[in-house]
C-alpha cells in the first residue's frame, strides 16, 4: 500500500538555515521538494562534492577488488574530517590511492617493454661495448643476425660469420661491414637490438618490479586498514551533497533573509515532526495533499509483499492517487516463478542459496550472485514456492515422482491426473492450468483498472470499463458454474443473455456519457462506432495476452525435459560401473547445474514480463510516481 503523506512548508531565518538543515537531516524523515527557480546552475560547492564522491567511489571499487569483500560488511571507520572534506586525512588517502593506481597502470607496460628487450638480448650474452666502440672507430660495424640451424650450416661457411649462440631452432651470429660496405646477399634476418645492455635492462626490470610490489603492498595495506575510514568519508560526502541539494531546492524570500522550504513526510511521523518544529524558531504550515501535488511515494507492505517492492521500483513508483501493485505482483510473480522452474529439487537449492544470502554467507559459495545481494529473503521465498509446486507437479531433479510411489496409492492417482489431460478436453492439464491462471490474473487487472478509474474519474466516465468487466468476468463465472453443474442449461442461457444485453449497453452506448449529454444525436452515432473499435482492440489484445501465459507451461516443460535428458545420459554412462560412475556423477552435477541456471534466468525474466506487460497494461498502471527520498545522514 501507499503510505499517507502530509506537506510541510516552513520559513527559516537565513543565518539559522545551515544548522536547521543539519538538524532536519538528523531527523531523517523529510523529503525536500523543489521550489523556486530550478533553472539555476549547480553551485561550485555541489559540483566539487560530486567530483569527490566519484573519486571516493572509484577508490572503494578498487580496494574492494583487492580484499574481495562486500562494502556493507566492512565496519565503518572514522572519516577524520577536520576543516573540510578536501583537506581531511582520509581524502588525502583517497588521492594517494589514485596516485598508486595511476602509477601501477603506467608501470605494467614499462616492465613488459623491458622484458621484451631482455628477451631479445639474452641470446647474445654479455656484449663488450668498449671493444665494439674500437671497431666502430676502425670503420668496422657489426650486424646482429639470426638464421635457422639448417640454413646456417648450408650457407654461412662461405661468409665471415661469427656464431654467438644457438638453440634447437636458430643460430645467433655476427657479420661485419667494413668501411660501410654491407654484405647485402647474406640470406639472414638482421636484428636491431636495444641500446642498453642486458645487465642494464635486467637491473631496470628488478627495480621497477620491486617498486610495483611496494605500491601494491601499500595499496593492500590501505584496503585492509583504511577502507572503513573511506566508507565513512563517502557517507559524510553523501550527507553534504544531500544538504547542498536541499539548499538548491529551496528558495529565498524577503530580501534574501528568509528561506522558504517545502517537503513531505509520512503521516505516522507527524508527532516527531511537530516535536522537532516546536523546538525550532520557525514558522511552518502542514496540510494534506491536493490533486495537483507531486507527492513522493513510500510503500508500506507486510513482510511478504515487502520483499517484492524492489520489482515495483524496477518498473516505477505508483502515483499518489493510484494503488500499490506490489500486493498483486508478489503472489503472482512467486507462483509464475515456481511454475517456470517446476522442480522440487531445484527449489531446495534455491532455498539454500537464499538462506545463505540472508546469513551473509552466499558470497563464499562457488556461485557469487552479487546482483542478488540483499535479496536473500525473496530468493528463499521463491525457492520454497518452487519446491511446493515441484512436488505438486511430481518432478525432483528431473525425476518423475510418479515412478516412486505405489501404483494403487492416492498420490499415484493424483500424479496421473496432473500429468494427464484437462477434464473434458484433449489439452494438457498443466497447459490449461497455465492459461486459467493467466485468465484470473487478467481479470484481477481489469477489476483493479475499473475501480481505480472510477476513483479518479467517477462512475459515469467508466461505465464502459465496468461493462467489459461484467461481460468477461461475469461470463467466466457463469460458465464455470455451468461446467460444475451448479447452473442448468436454461438458467445459464438466460443469465448469459442478461449479461450480454447489459454489457452491450455500456460498451456501445454509454462508453462516453459526456458525448450523449452534450449532443445526443452525435453520441448515438459515434458511441457505437467507438464501441466497435474498442471491441476489436479488446478481443485481439486479450487473446494475445491470455496466450502469453502458455510460456509458463512451456518453460516448465523445457526445464523438466532437459533435466530428464541429463539423467538419461548419466544413467547410460553409470551402467558401465567402476570409473564410469564418477563420470556419471559429473554429468548429473554439471547438467543439473546448467539447467538450474538457465531455468532460473527464464523463471525471473518471463514472470516479470507477465506482470510488467500483461498485468500492468490491463490494470492501467503507469508507474510515473516519485520515490520518497528523505533528507537524512548517509
Between CA 622 and CA 409, with CA 555 as vertex, the angle to 5 degrees is 120
Report d(CA 32, CA 263) in Å as an integer: 4
Asked if residues 551 and 540 have their Cβ atoms less than 8 Å apart, the reply is: no
Report d(CA 316, CA 322) in Å as an integer: 12
Q: What is the pLDDT of residue 285?
A: 80
Distance, C-alpha 577 to centroid of its chain? 45
Q: What is the pLDDT of residue 368?
A: 46
Q: What is the pLDDT of residue 332?
A: 94
Classify residue 468 by burial, with Cβ atoms within 10 Å: 0-12, 13-18, 19+. Answer: buried
Q: What is the pLDDT of residue 94?
A: 86
Report d(CA 452, CA 506) in Å as an integer: 18
- Average of per-residue pLDDT across 85-92: 74
Q: What is the pLDDT of residue 83?
A: 53
Q: What is the pLDDT of residue 590?
A: 92
In this structure, of 108-117, 137-146, 395-404, 439-448, the range with the lowest mean pLDDT score is 137-146
Report d(CA 352, CA 362) in Å as an integer: 9
pLDDT at 443 over 90: no
- Average of per-residue pLDDT across 142-147: 81
pLDDT at 96 over 80: yes
118 vs 84, higher pLDDT: 118
Q: What is the pLDDT of residue 338?
A: 93
80 vs 508, higher pLDDT: 508
Q: Give Cβ neighbours of residue 351 (< 8 Å, ≥ 6 apart).
A: 380, 383, 384, 387
pLDDT at 348 over 80: yes
Over residues 561-570, the pLDDT tens digits come to 899 998 899 8
Q: Give Cβ neighbours of residue 251 (< 8 Å, ≥ 6 apart).
A: 35, 36, 37, 259, 260
- Average of per-residue pLDDT across 517-539: 65
Q: What is the pLDDT of residue 254?
A: 47
Q: What is the pLDDT of residue 56?
A: 86
Over residues 22-42, the pLDDT tens digits come to 788 788 888 887 665 444 456
In this structure, of 123-132, 340-349, 426-435, the range with the lowest mean pLDDT score is 123-132
464 vs 114, higher pLDDT: 114
- The model's confidence at residue 255, banded by pLDDT at 50, 70 and 90, is very low
pLDDT at 93 over 60: yes
pLDDT at 369 over 60: no
Q: What is the pLDDT of residue 256?
A: 57
Helix (H, G, I), strand (E, B) or coil at 337: helix
- Average of per-residue pLDDT across 118-146: 78
- Average of per-residue pLDDT across 300-326: 88
Identify the sign of the CA torsion 218, 219, 225, 230.
Answer: positive
Q: What is the pLDDT of residue 489?
A: 81
pLDDT at 523 over 80: no
Over residues 200-254, the pLDDT tens digits come to 888 888 999 999 899 888 888 888 888 888 888 888 888 887 777 766 666 555 4
Distance, C-alpha 483 to centroid of its chain? 45
User: What is this structure's pTM?
Assistant: 0.68
pLDDT at 330 over 50: yes
Asked if residues 126 and 199 have their Cβ atoms less than 8 Å apart, the reply is: yes
- Angle separating helix axes 550-574 and 429-457, nearest 10 degrees: 150
Identify the sign of the CA torsion 210, 215, 219, 224.
Answer: positive
Q: What is the pLDDT of residue 383?
A: 93
Report d(CA 634, CA 71) in Å as an integer: 14
Which strand (E) or helix (H) includes residue 153?
Answer: helix 149-155
Buried-state track 414-444, b at ≥16 Cβ within 10 A, e below 16: ebeeeeeebeeeeebbbbbbbbebbbebbbb
Over residues 396-424, the pLDDT tens digits come to 988 888 888 888 888 888 888 888 776 66
What is the residue-averaged pLDDT of the chain?
Answer: 80
Q: What is the pLDDT of residue 323?
A: 85
Q: What is the pLDDT of residue 347?
A: 93
In this structure, of 179-193, 298-312, 572-586, 615-629, the range with the lowest mean pLDDT score is 179-193
Q: What is the pLDDT of residue 166?
A: 85
Amino acid at each position: 500500500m501507499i503510505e499517507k503523506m502530509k506537506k510541510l512548508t516552513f520559513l527559516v531565518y537565513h543565518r539559522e538555515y545551515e544548522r536547521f538543515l543539519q538538524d532536519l537531516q538528523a531527523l531523517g524523515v523529510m523529503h525536500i521538494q523543489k521550489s523556486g527557480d530550478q533553472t539555476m546552475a549547480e553551485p561550485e560547492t555541489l559540483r566539487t562534492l560530486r567530483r569527490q564522491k566519484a573519486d571516493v567511489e572509484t577508490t572503494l571499487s578498487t580496494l574492494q577488488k583487492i580484499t574481495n569483500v562486500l562494502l556493507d560488511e566492512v565496519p565503518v571507520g572514522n572519516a577524520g574530517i577536520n576543516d573540510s572534506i578536501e583537506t581531511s586525512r582520509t581524502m588525502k588517502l583517497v588521492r594517494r590511492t589514485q596516485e598508486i593506481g595511476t602509477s601501477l597502470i603506467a608501470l605494467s607496460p614499462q616492465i613488459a617493454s623491458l622484458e621484451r628487450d631482455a628477451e631479445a638480448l639474452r641470446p647474445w650474452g654479455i656484449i663488450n661495448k668498449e671493444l665494439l666502440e674500437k671497431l666502430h672507430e676502425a670503420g668496422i660495424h657489426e650486424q646482429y643476425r639470426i638464421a635457422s640451424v639448417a640454413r646456417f650450416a648450408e650457407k654461412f661457411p662461405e661468409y665471415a660469420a661469427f656464431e654467438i649462440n644457438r638453440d634447437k631452432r636458430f643460430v645467433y651470429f655476427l657479420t661485419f661491414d667494413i668501411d660501410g660496405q654491407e654484405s647485402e646477399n647474406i640470406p639472414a634476418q638482421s636484428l636491431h637490438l636495444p641500446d642498453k645492455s642486458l645487465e642494464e635492462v635486467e637491473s631496470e626490470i628488478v627495480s621497477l618490479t620491486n617498486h610495483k610490489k611496494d605500491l601494491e603492498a601499500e595499496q593492500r595495506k590501505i584496503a585492509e586498514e583504511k577502507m572503513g575510514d573511506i566508507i565513512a568519508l563517502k557517507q559524510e560526502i553523501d550527507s553534504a551533497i544531500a544538504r547542498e541539494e536541499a539548499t538548491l531546492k529551496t528558495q529565498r524570500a524577503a530580501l534574501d533573509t528568509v528561506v522558504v522550504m517545502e517537503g513531505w513526510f509520512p503521516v505516522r511521523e507527524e508527532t516527531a515532526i511537530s516535536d522537532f518544529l516546536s523546538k525550532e524558531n520557525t514558522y511552518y504550515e502542514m496540510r494534506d495533499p491536493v490533486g495537483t501535488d507531486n507527492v513522493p511515494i513510500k510503500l508500506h507492505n507486510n513482510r511478504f509483499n515487502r520483499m517484492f517492492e524492489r520489482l515495483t521500483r524496477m518498473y516505477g513508483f505508483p502515483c499518489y492517487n493510484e494503488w500499490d501493485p506490489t500486493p498483486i505482483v508478489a503472489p503472482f510473480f512467486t507462483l509464475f516463478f515456481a511454475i517456470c522452474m517446476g522442480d522440487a529439487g531445484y527449489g531446495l537449492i534455491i532455498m539454500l542459496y537464499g538462506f545463505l544470502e540472508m546469513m551473509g554467507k552466499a558470497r563464499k559459495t562457488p556461485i557469487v550472485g552479487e546482483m542478488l545481494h540483499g535479496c536473500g529473503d525473496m530468493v528463499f521465498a521463491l525457492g520454497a514456492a518452487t519446491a511446493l509446486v515441484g512436488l505438486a507437479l511430481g518432478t525432483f531433479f528431473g525425476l518423475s515422482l510418479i515412478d516412486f510411489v505405489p501404483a494403487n496409492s492416492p498420490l499415484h492417482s493424483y500424479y496421473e491426473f496432473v500429468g494427464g489431460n484437462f477434464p473434458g478436453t484433449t489439452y494438457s492439464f498443466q497447459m490449461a492450468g497455465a492459461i486459467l491462471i493467466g485468465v484470473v490474473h487478467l481479470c484481477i487487472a481489469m477489476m483493479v483498472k475499473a475501480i481505480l478509474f472510477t476513483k479518479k474519474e467517477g462512475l459515469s466516465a467508466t461505465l464502459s470499463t465496468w461493462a467489459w468487466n461484467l461481460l468477461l468476468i461475469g461470463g467466466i463465472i457463469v460458465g464455470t458454474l455451468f461446467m460444475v453443474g451448479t447452473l442448468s442449461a436454461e438458467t445459464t442461457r438466460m443469465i448469459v443473455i442478461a449479461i450480454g444485453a447489459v454489457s452491450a449497453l455500456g460498451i456501445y452506448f454509454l462508453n462516453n456519457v459526456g458525448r450523449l449529454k452534450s449532443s445526443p444525436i452525435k453520441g448515438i452515432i459515434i458511441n457505437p462506432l467507438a464501441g466497435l473499435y474498442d471491441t476489436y482492440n479488446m478481443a485481439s489484445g486479450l487473446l494475445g495476452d491470455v496466450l502469453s501465459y502458455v510460456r509458463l507451461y512451456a518453460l516448465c516443460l523445457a526445464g523438466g525435459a532437459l533435466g530428464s535428458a541429463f539423467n538419461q545420459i548419466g544413467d547410460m554412462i553409470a551402467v558401465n560401473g567402476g570409473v564410469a560412475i564418477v563420470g556419471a556423477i559429473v554429468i548429473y552435477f554439471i547438467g543439473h547445474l546448467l539447467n538450474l541456471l538457465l531455468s532460473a534466468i527464464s523463471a525471473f525474466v518471463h514472470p516479470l514480463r507477465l506482470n510488467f506487460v500483461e498485468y500492468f497494461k490491463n490494470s492501467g498502471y503507469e508507474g510515473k510516481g516519485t520515490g520518497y527520498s528523505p533528507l537524512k545522514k548517509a
